Amino acid sequence: MMGPPGTLMQRIYPRQHLMRVDDLGQELRLLRVSNVRKVFHSTRGTYTALDGASLTIEDGEFVCLLGPSGCGKSTLLNILAGFEPATSGAVFADDAPVTAAARDRVMLFQDAGTALLPWLSVEENMRFALRVRRIPKPEWPEVIDKYLHMVNLDRHRAKFPYELSGGMRQRLQIARALAVEPKVLLMDEPFAALDALTRRHMHAVLLDIWQRTGKTVVFVTHDIAEAISLADRIAVMSVGPCSAITKLIDIDLPRPRDLTNRKVAELFNEIEALLAPDLQRLDAMEAQ
């Protein structure tokens, strides 16, 4: 969170990731994207969204995919989720090929209102997720209590989504995702539609949950400040067509990260300068 210490989130340092190895002593990665290419075909022709995208993500890491609109961030996230196949290249989760959606990877969307079931209460939305994922029914009460308490919605379990604020709906979406015990949370600009104060609070909520659960998070954003405040690493993506990951930036700074801090401000300016040529190219493309 970009703000003063002593609020919801205390000082959290980047995680020290433990190297995992297989029986042959080879290092394992939780997620691995290798030279991925994605081509879309339509009546208007073909469009190459990704070309040569490569990335490895450690267990428990918080990684932000950062870039302007149209750079393939959401496309890459959908491929990681198993919603979209790569045209070429390879994607692995725990060194197994990703060929379809799976319980160990859960997607969270920008519009929580459409992701939730409006005719079900908070608790019933939780129950629905557990039923779909075939979690044994005797475990439901404990799981629901645990995660509704974690996102501070335990006193709102009888309410319906339309009775919740935008931030509360996103917290419910997070709790519902955590309830099925995934290894990875894939988050596609989940706070973009929230007002600035709620968004800032949600950064603190998310980092607190990440720290407590140890989940791996892959978070899509086009907001430099948001990426800096949240991530262990930022994967900067180029403007499409033929988008790729052009730079990986490690952020070895304690949280919360305040933009008035000299090191944080320098990092912001560095990333802004890195993105500037692509933004100019995007403006030129849109002007044609």
pLDDT grade, residue 277 (50/70/90)?
Answer: confident
Q: 34-68 burial, b for 16+ CB within 10 Å, e for fewer?
A: eebbbeeeeeeeeeebbbebebebbbbbbbbbbbb
pLDDT for position 80: 96
The model carries a pTM of: 0.88
For 166-181, what is the mean pLDDT? 93
Q: Which position has the higher pLDDT, 248 or 115?
A: 248
Token digits of residue 171: 């917290």
For 57-72, what is the mean pLDDT? 92
Q: Which position has the higher pLDDT, 25 or 104?
A: 104
pLDDT for position 27: 53
Q: Rounded to an integer, what distance in angstroms lies between the CA atom of residue 234 and that of residue 36?
A: 18
Q: Which position has the higher pLDDT, 188 or 112?
A: 188
Q: pLDDT at residue 23 above 80?
A: no
Mean pLDDT of the chain: 88
Q: Rounded to an integer, what distance in angstroms lies between the CA atom of residue 142 and that of residue 152?
A: 15
pLDDT grade, residue 13 (50/70/90)?
Answer: very low
Nearest to 229 by CA among 198, 206, 195, 197: 206
pLDDT for position 69: 83
pLDDT for position 19: 46
pLDDT tens readout for residues 86-102:
999 999 999 899 999 99
pLDDT grade, residue 21 (50/70/90)?
Answer: very low
pLDDT grade, residue 268 (50/70/90)?
Answer: very high
Nearest to 234 by CA among 66, 117, 90, 101: 66
pLDDT grade, residue 16 (50/70/90)?
Answer: very low
